Amino acid sequence: MHLQLNFKSGKPAYLQLAEQIKYAAATGVLRPGEALPSIRPLAEDLRINRNTVAKAYAELESEGVIETRQGKGCFVTENNSPLRKAVRQEIVSEAIDYAIVQAHHLQIPPEEFIELVKGRLEHFRTETEKPSTSKAGD
């Protein structure tokens, strides 16, 4: 697993870290039960404070992505598909929430929003597998 921080992004280091690990867990790069890098070595490796890593891990634990045991380490949650599914939904929910907030700001009612979503979904369905799409906005 490759972890990298962007200090110029303005996004807190502990959030970047949590996000990357969460993503790795959701996509299977990190398997359930697998141990995460220990707090201190990882912090040293990333040139950040141990507590920053600890905060990222705490965030992940509160989201149910990992499990930490004092004196032993941190591990990806064992629960096979059910919990990983929840994690995936969590990630997508963040993106959905962003879209919903945008819609609300632009005075687009929920029904119209749903229709928009269906429309876009249909649009993607007809284009099936195209390697387009990495326009990340942040």
Taking alpha carbons only, the member of 72, 68, 33 closest to residue 53 is 68
Per CB under 7 A, the list member of 63, 73, 83, 88 interacting with DNA is 73
Q: Does residue 91 belong to the site contacting a copy of itself (CB under 8 A)?
A: yes
What kind and span of H or E run contains 67?
Answer: strand 66-69
Q: Angle at the Cα of 131 (from 95 to 91), degrees rounded to 5? A: 20
Per CB under 8 A, the list member of 47, 125, 126, 131 interacting with a copy of itself is 125
Q: What phi and psi values does residue 29 have, to the nearest 5 degrees?
A: -60, -35
Q: Does residue 86 belong to the site contacting a copy of itself (CB under 8 A)?
A: no
Interface residues with a copy of itself (CB under 8 A) are 19, 22-23, 26-27, 83, 88-89, 91-108, 110, 112-114, 116-118, 120-121, 124-125, 133, 135-137
